[in-house]
Homo-oligomer: A and B are copies of this chain.
Amino acid sequence: MLYARTSAKTPIRFDLSGLPRELHLFPPVTSVIFVRFNYAVTQSVTDWQICYHPSGSPEIAEIEVNGILYKATYPHLLIKRPGDKLRSERGEGQSLYFKYAPETSLELPDDLVLQGLTPSPAISRLSGELQSELEHVFVPGSADRIDRLCMSLLSEFLLAMRSYPPECRQRTRIREAASYLYAHPMAYFSRLDDLARKFGFSRRNFARLWRAEFGTSPGRSLKELRFGEACRLLSSTDLTISEIATQLGYSEATNFVAAFRQYAHCTPRAYRLKYRA
């Protein structure tokens, strides 16, 4: 998957340090390498190396870094820091890695050396994009895209290391429901029960888990969302009060005005006069 366009014997190695960059928003990568390795390594590391090993043998990779032995199955991530001394047993496998200059500031946990990770669609996609970009490496702006893709990959590698225990699944589902509510507030302005059902919760369980996750009831969250939107529409648009009421799902503007007064302790009109930009 990572190597679709590369035969095992044709490693891709790019020295990017000499290429022109147009922008400087990411730490500049010095080289990118896709390679099949099949040898033992004794290495004095001189730069940062972010190594992703999607597969290899033997099944358990053993790598000694600064005298400490680390073990991991594939796929895994190996972070090599400037000054590290590495020794590994004979093995073979695939490797995608990229390097940063020793003086680059990468804030990574100190205890992150060799760690198994879960392959993710984002990692495959970004690896593919990186390979495509390497086909245009001399074109202006390409080195910047490569910098960005490498930083994104590093970010996804780190995410893929966190494994969430099964008891977190309900929490994830509650957070998915919250995401949905915030992305589609109009659809749920008056139907929280539908939202609970859509994500497979009973009304009661939904309220309990929501409170545990966000420290407030789903109804309260919805109110904040609805009146936050009302405040924004009042202060930064020309919409009339009754247009705003309609947008927020009120059939009668007077109901909106009453609810708004209760929430904001002033009328919509007074709010608009006070905060209109």
Interface residues of A (CB under 8 A from B): 9-10, 12-14, 22-26, 38-39, 41-43, 106-107, 122, 134-142, 144-145, 148, 151-152, 154-155, 158-159, 162, 164, 172, 175-176, 178-180, 182-183, 185-186, 232, 236-238, 247, 277
| Of B10, B13, B142, B182, the contact of A14 (CB 8 Å cutoff) | B182
Cα distance A43–B164 in the bound complex, in angstroms: 43
Given contact pairs A22-B158, A148-B155, A186-B10, A178 touches B38 in the complex (Cβ within 8 A): no
Given contact pairs A39-B237, A39-B238, A144-B155, A137 touches B182 in the complex (Cβ within 8 A): yes
Beyond contacts A9-B247, A151-B151: 13 other A-B pairs, Cβ-Cβ < 8 A, are A22-B158, A25-B107, A26-B155, A41-B277, A43-B277, A134-B183, A135-B180, A137-B182, A138-B175, A139-B172, A139-B179, A148-B155, A152-B152
How distant is A189 from chain B, measured CB to nearest CB, in Å? 11
Contact check, A164 vs B136: say whether CB atoms are below 8 A apart.
no
| Of B141, B154, B176, the contact of A139 (CB 8 Å cutoff) | B176
Task: Report chain B residues within 8 Å CB of A136.
Answer: 176, 179
Cα distance A183–B5 in the bound complex, in angstroms: 10
Contact check, B154 vs A141: say whether CB atoms are below 8 A apart.
no
Which residue of chain B has its CB nearest to the CB of A43?
B277
Contact check, A183 vs B135: say whether CB atoms are below 8 A apart.
yes
Cα distance A126–B182 in the bound complex, in angstroms: 21
Contact check, A236 vs B39: say whether CB atoms are below 8 A apart.
yes
Task: Report chain B residues within 8 Å CB of A247.
Answer: 9
Contact check, A158 vs B23: say whether CB atoms are below 8 A apart.
yes
Contact check, A138 vs B13: say whether CB atoms are below 8 A apart.
no
Cα distance A155–B236 in the bound complex, in angstroms: 29
How distant is A23 from chain B, measured CB to nearest CB, in Å? 5
Task: Report chain B residues within 8 Å CB of A12.
Answer: 183
Contact check, A23 vs B183: say whether CB atoms are below 8 A apart.
no
Contact check, A155 vs B42: say whether CB atoms are below 8 A apart.
no
Cα distance A134–B235 in the bound complex, in angstroms: 24
Which residue of chain B has its CB nearest to the CB of A136?
B179
28 A–B pairs (Cβ distance < 8 Å), ordered by A: A9-B247, A14-B182, A23-B155, A23-B158, A23-B159, A26-B151, A26-B155, A38-B237, A38-B238, A39-B237, A42-B277, A43-B277, A122-B145, A134-B179, A135-B179, A137-B182, A137-B183, A138-B176, A138-B178, A138-B179, A140-B164, A140-B175, A141-B159, A142-B179, A144-B155, A144-B159, A148-B155, A151-B151
Task: Report chain B residues within 8 Å CB of A38.
Answer: 237-238
How distant is A30 from chain B, measured CB to nearest CB, in Å? 15
